[in-house]
Amino acid sequence: MDSEEELCRRLKAGDPQAFKELVREYETPIYSFLCHRLRERAAAEDAFAEVFVRVWRGIGSYRPQGRLKAWLFTIAHRLSLDLAEKASRREQSLDAEDAQGRPLSETVAGPEPGPEREAIGQETRVRIEAALASLPEEQRQVFLLREYGDLSFAEIALAMDCPLSTALSRMRYAVRRLRGELEGLDA
């Protein structure tokens, strides 16, 4: 595979092939991140497209000071914040029933079970999703950026615009809480 630097150079030159490679490479991590953030498959799919619209639009001004991945997940994170804000405004005005409070599996499950469903079993998946959903918002953001983005805490602090110590303490609380929620699973 191309080195990140080379991929970045080709992207900046507007190489469509490089863009396709990028989208393919980050398909699962970005999509998973968005699914757990937005808790709805259709919303995650739309957001996925929007992330890459922003990436392609912004690549010209992107200065590779850090990892490309950190930049991608920062875009995905900020987009998810925008969407969450919009959703809460909509909720306030409509008070509509939506995905809130329902397990992700109900809203994320497609008509056909993906291979990963069989791998870990529906019950385990529901437990994990519920555990993640139970985290307070900011703890969940840190945890998802760390686990699906594989971002370092320094990168997470930058993406979330908070001190490193804050990113660490959010993760600390998240892990402690998940320890209880995931008790008995996959010992």
Shortest Å, Cβ 81 to other proteins: 11
Of 47 and 93, nearer to other proteins (C-beta) is 47
Quote the least distance from Cβ 88 to other proteins, whole Å: 20
> Do 42 and 79 contact (CB within 8 A), yes or no?
no
DSSP per-residue codes, 77-100: HHHHHHHHHHHHHHHHHH----ST
Give the N- to C-terminal CA distance of the chain in Å, as an integer.
36
**Residue 128 CB, nearest approach to other proteins (Å):** 4
Contact 182, 124 (CB under 8 A): no
In the complex, least distance from residue 101 CB atom to other proteins, rounded to whole angstroms? 18
Angle (CA) 102 78 11, round 5°: 120
Residue 52 or 141 with smaller CB distance to other proteins: 52
What does the angle CA 156 – CA 160 – CA 164 come to, to the nearest 5 degrees? 55
Closest CA to 145 of 57, 76, 65: 76
Cβ distance to other proteins smaller for residue 94 or 173: 173
Measured from the CB atom, is 49 or 85 closer to other proteins? 49
Q: Do 77 and 141 meet the contact criterion of CB atoms below 8 Å apart?
A: yes
Q: Specify the residue, 87 or 182, whose C-beta has the smaller distance to other proteins.
A: 182
Judged on CB neighbours under 10 Å (0-12, 13-18, 19+), 103 is middle
**Of 92 and 110, which has the nearer Cβ to other proteins?**
110
- Give 152's contacts (C-beta < 8 A, 6+ positions apart): 70
CB of 95 to other proteins, least distance (A): 28
- Binding-site ranges for other proteins (CB under 8 A): 12-14, 16, 19-20, 23-24, 27-29, 31-32, 35-36, 41, 44-45, 48-49, 52-54, 56-62, 74-75, 78, 108, 110, 114-117, 119-120, 124-125, 128-129, 131-132, 143-144, 146-148, 152-154, 165, 168-169, 171-172, 174-176, 178-179, 182, 185-186
Shortest separation between residue 137's beta carbon and other proteins, angstroms: 17
